[in-house]
Structure 1
Amino acid sequence: MNTLSVGPFTLAVDHALMILSLIAAMIAGRLAARDRNVPIIDTLISLALAGILAARLIFVLRYWNPYSLSPVSIIDIRDGGFDAVGGLVGMAAYASFAVWRRPRLRRPLGLAILAGSLVWGATGGALQLIGSSRMMRPDVPLQTLTGRTTTLDALARAHPGAPMVVNLWASWCPPCRAEMPMLAAAQRAHPGVLFIFANQGESPAKIEAFLRRESLSPNHVLVDAGQRLARAADARAFPTTLFFDGTGHLVERHLGLLSRATLARGLDRLSVHAPTKDSGS
Structure 2
Amino acid sequence: MNAVSLGPLVLAADRFAVVLAIFVFLIVTGIMARKVDDRFNAWSWWAFLGGIIGARIGHVLINMESFMADPLRIFAVWQGGFYWPTGAAAVIVSLLVMLPTGRQRLWAVLPLALSLIVWNTTWQLTGGTDPLAVPDQAFETLEGNGYRLEEHKGTPQVVNLWATWCPPCRREMPMMADIAASTDDVTFVFANQGEGRTAIQRYLAASGLSLDTILVDQFSDLSRFYSAPGLPATLFIDADGVLQHAHLGEISREVLIGKIENLRTSISPSGDTRP
Which TM-score band (shorter chain)? 0.7 to 0.9
CA distances 1:67-112 after superposition (whole Å, capped 9, x unpaired): 100111111112212224443344344334444x344422331111
Residue 141 of structure 2 corresponds to 144
Give, in angstroms, the shift of residue 45 of structure 1: 2.6
Give, in angstroms, the shift of residue 201 of structure 1: 0.7
- Residues of 1 paired with 2:101 and 2:135: CA distance? 54
Q: Does 1:216 align with 2:213?
A: no
Of the three residues 220, 231, 245, the one matched with 2:238 is: 245
Residue 45 of structure 2 corresponds to 45
Report the residue type matching 1:57 in the other structure: I
Report the residue type matching 1:87 in the other structure: G
Residue 221 of structure 2 corresponds to 228
Residue 63 of structure 1 corresponds to 63
User: Which ranges in structure 2 are unaligned for 5 or more consecutive residues?
Assistant: none
Residue 94 of structure 2 corresponds to 94
- Residues of 1 paired with 2:243 and 2:89: CA distance? 28
Runs of 4+ in 1 over 6 A off after TM superposition: none
User: Percent same amino acid among aligned pairs?
Assistant: 32
Q: Please say if residues 137 and 248 of structure 1, whose CA atoms lie closer than 8 Å, have aligned partners that are also in contact.
A: yes
Give, in angstroms, the shift of residue 197 of structure 1: 0.3
- Residues of 1 paired with 2:114 and 2:25: CA distance? 5
Report the residue type matching 1:244 in the other structure: I
Give the stretch that moved more between structures: 210-219 or 19-28: 19-28
- Residues of 2 paired with 1:216 and 1:64: CA distance? 26
TM-score between the two structures when normalised by the length of structure 2: 0.86
SS of equivalent to 2:164: coil
What is the correspondence of 1:33-182 to structure 2 with a 5 Å cutoff? Answer: 33-99=33-99, 101-127=100-126, 131=128, 134-154=131-151, 156-157=152-153, 160=154, 162-182=155-175
Q: Please say if residues 156 and 263 of structure 2, whose CA atoms lie closer than 8 Å, have aligned partners that are also in contact.
A: yes
Give, in angstroms, the shift of residue 20 of structure 1: 1.9
Superposition RMSD in Å:
2.7
Q: Please say if residues 267 and 273 of structure 2, whose CA atoms lie closer than 8 Å, have aligned partners that are also in contact.
A: no
Report the residue type matching 2:202 in the other structure: A
Residue 269 of structure 1 corresponds to 262
Residue 194 of structure 2 corresponds to 201
Q: Please say if residues 137 and 249 of structure 1, whose CA atoms lie closer than 8 Å, have aligned partners that are also in contact.
A: yes
Give the stretch that moved more between structures: 73-82 or 143-152: 143-152
Report the residue type matching 1:218 in the other structure: L
SS of equivalent to 1:145: coil
- Residues of 2 paired with 1:92 and 1:127: CA distance? 28
Change in Cα spacing, 1:256 to 1:27, as seen in structure 2 (3 Å) is closer
Report the residue type matching 1:236 in the other structure: P
TM-score between the two structures when normalised by the length of structure 1: 0.84
Q: Please say if residues 129 and 244 of structure 2, whose CA atoms lie closer than 8 Å, have aligned partners that are also in contact.
A: no
Q: Please say if residues 242 and 252 of structure 1, whose CA atoms lie closer than 8 Å, have aligned partners that are also in contact.
A: yes
Change in Cα spacing, 1:78 to 1:4, as seen in structure 2 (3 Å) is same
Give, in angstroms, the shift of residue 191 of structure 1: 1.5
- Residues of 2 paired with 1:274 and 1:61: CA distance? 30
- Residues of 2 paired with 1:6 and 1:61: CA distance? 34
- Residues of 2 paired with 1:126 and 1:38: CA distance? 34
Residue 15 of structure 1 corresponds to 15
Q: Please say if residues 266 and 273 of structure 2, whose CA atoms lie closer than 8 Å, have aligned partners that are also in contact.
A: no
Residue 24 of structure 2 corresponds to 24
Q: Please say if residues 32 and 111 of structure 1, whose CA atoms lie closer than 8 Å, have aligned partners that are also in contact.
A: no
SS of equivalent to 1:219: coil
Give the stretch that moved more between structures: 54-63 or 267-276: 267-276
Change in Cα spacing, 1:132 to 1:195, as seen in structure 2 (3 Å) is closer
- Residues of 2 paired with 1:44 and 1:264: CA distance? 34
User: Which ranges in structure 1 are unaligned for 5 or more consecutive residues?
Assistant: none
SS of equivalent to 1:269: helix
Give, in angstroms, the shift of residue 229 of structure 1: 0.8
